[in-house]
Structure 1
């Protein structure tokens, strides 16, 4: 498996990351152990989790993923893999996470890391992400910035924890050896540049990795963010490369087929947009016309984009995981890539 240095850090990670957000809901402990063992055997050393997993987040399942992962971790040599987790922020109404975090302040970040380390049965995280910005930004299917969301019900500006304060807390954790590198997730270009500016001016930890959505139906990263990544030397960890299963072709063949879309109705609003079914069908037909599976087309496209450092994949079965990893060996021809671009120009970003 190919690998990269993660941003400006000393962490060398595989070009594929094993995502774990199904562990504890769709996958049992044995399923999780099997997937983790298989991934490591294939040269995948980067494991991604979060305190709020499994997904979709619910009060009755929250933190199960980290707990299950911890049972596996305690049987492993810790230096065999690179481990990332995430701190949830406010603005999403999940009161069952630490009583409903009020912000990315010192107490919330430190408490989240302390609890994650306990569940994961490890002394440190290789990467700690802020799971989403606490300030007002469009995310998770929203796509327009709304200045009105800056105001409370009385029309007064709402306060949010400064980026300098957030970085100072992260700096404490790095200095204490509890975190090795920091990352941002579901972040916007302004936020990335502001984190970099403050870090540079105040001598605080520099962002090494950005974890954002990127797939054939959501290429918003290409509007400005890729230049930031290139010029600032930040790695992208691309998530949702199969667009919640829409790019596997299974819902094209049978809209009622069992999967996350049919199991969790109303979740993942990003993929409820009106252009998604037509785009899924078009990419499915393109893949099959060239002797590829839709999964191969979708994953190979993301795996080999010049700005993608590592791609996060997840699976509910070992066979799915095997197919997803094997797709790394597929390289799309220039002819196929040209057709992808034509489709993109015709139906651009139906799932922003």
Structure 2
């Protein structure tokens, strides 16, 4: 598998990343071990996690369990420098630390906790999961209001957190830093402040990006290209919608939507299961059939054709799903297929 560097850092990773947010909930430890083994065998050496995982739902009693499972695998397999690990500190919009925002001291403590759970000496990419000032991620676009943000307080927060990241990097506990669910303004400010105080310059930004959700294509893409930042795209299959498995009102047993419903949720995939989204998926499945592609394979391989650095994060609940996905890696969509995707986007933009 092709290797790429994260932004301008010296952290080299596989061009596809294995997401682990289901480890310890939908994915049992033995299946998680099988997935990590399969990924490594395929050259997919980059794993992404977070202190809050597993999700669907996030529960206080399971916070950190996904990192622990990775740590158990690390202790058993001893991959050493062959593996690259990314993880995140939870922001104030999640069910950790009673929703309190993080500061520099919290970052320092959470890095230590993640290192213990992961059973590694350093984290290759340490990310800030949510901006403390608020975010438009996860369907908050429709009500997003930045008018009450305090710029001076935001910059002071960035200085405090970046000082902690600088110390952690100097101590050899992290190699690079990144963001998640950030905006173009936030990305550039983090970089500006880092350069001012000699702290780690943000190498990556982990935001949602798929054929059904493409806000990154404009301002964020421009910022990422000019500042040399890699997009780590989460939900590249639109939480499973692009596979077609939810069409016709189907709710597959063990699927993310089914598990969410079983825990009292709505099963709407974080607001993604809308009538317009299902109409778009009908068109997507037709496009794939006409151009001779498996929907999963095209959705992932298309991302690697984008005019900015991107590493898709693939989150598969089962080892069987991962095996199917790996089978399709490496095939490049031709110009005719890409033109059809462009037309598809114009016809179905922002379906949720």
Q: TM-score w.r.t. structure 2 length?
A: 0.92
Contact 2:20 / 2:66 at 8 angstroms: preserved in 1? yes
Instruction: Give, in whole Å, the separation in 1 of the partners of 2:286 and 2:223.
Output: 34
CA deviation map 1:93-135 (0-9, x unaligned): x1xx2x3252221221112111111111112111100011111
- Given that 1:303 and 1:328 are in contact with CA atoms closer than 8 Å, whether structure 2 keeps it comes out as no
Cα distance in structure 2, aligned partners of 1:340 and 1:40: 31
Aligned match for 1:134, one of 132, 148, 151: 132
Structure whose residues are more often helix by fraction: 2
State whether residues 195 and 207 of structure 1, in contact with CA within 8 Å, keep that contact through their aligned partners in structure 2: yes
Q: Deviations 1:182-238 (Å, cap 9, x if unpaired)?
A: 000111000000011111222221001111111000011012111111111111111
- 1:50 aligned partner: 50
d(CA) in 2 for partners of 1:204 and 1:101? 26
Cα distance in structure 2, aligned partners of 1:22 and 1:39: 16
Aligned equivalent of 2:145: 146
Query: Is 1:110–2:108 an aligned residue pair?
Result: yes
TM superposition score normalised by structure 1: 0.92
**Structure 1, unpaired ranges of 5+:** 152-156
1:319-330 equivalent positions in 2, closer than 5 A: 319-330=320-331
Q: Deviations over 1:300-345 (max 9, x none)?
A: 2113323243111111222210121222222222222111111211
Report the RMSD for the aligned CA atoms in angstroms: 2.0
Aligned partner of 1:169 in structure 2 is: 164
1:245–1:261 Cα contact (<8 Å) kept: no
| Equivalent residue pairs, number | 342
d(CA) in 1 for partners of 2:288, 2:79: 40
SS in 1 for 2:13: strand
CA distance in 1, matches of 2:116, 2:99: 19
Contact 2:104 2:162 in 1 (8 A): no
Q: Runs in 1 of length 4+ with deviation above 3 angstroms?
A: 147-151, 157-161
Q: Equivalences for 1:192-341 in 2 at 5 Å?
A: 192-252=187-247, 255-258=250-253, 259-265=255-261, 266=266, 268-341=269-342
**Structure 2 stretches lacking a partner, 5+ long:** none
Question: Structure 2 CA distance, aligned partners of 1:11 and 1:321?
Answer: 24
- Residue matched to 1:187: 182
Farther-moved stretch of structure 1 (331-340 vs 252-261): 252-261
Q: Per the alignment, in what secondary structure is the counterpart of residue 232 of structure 2? A: strand
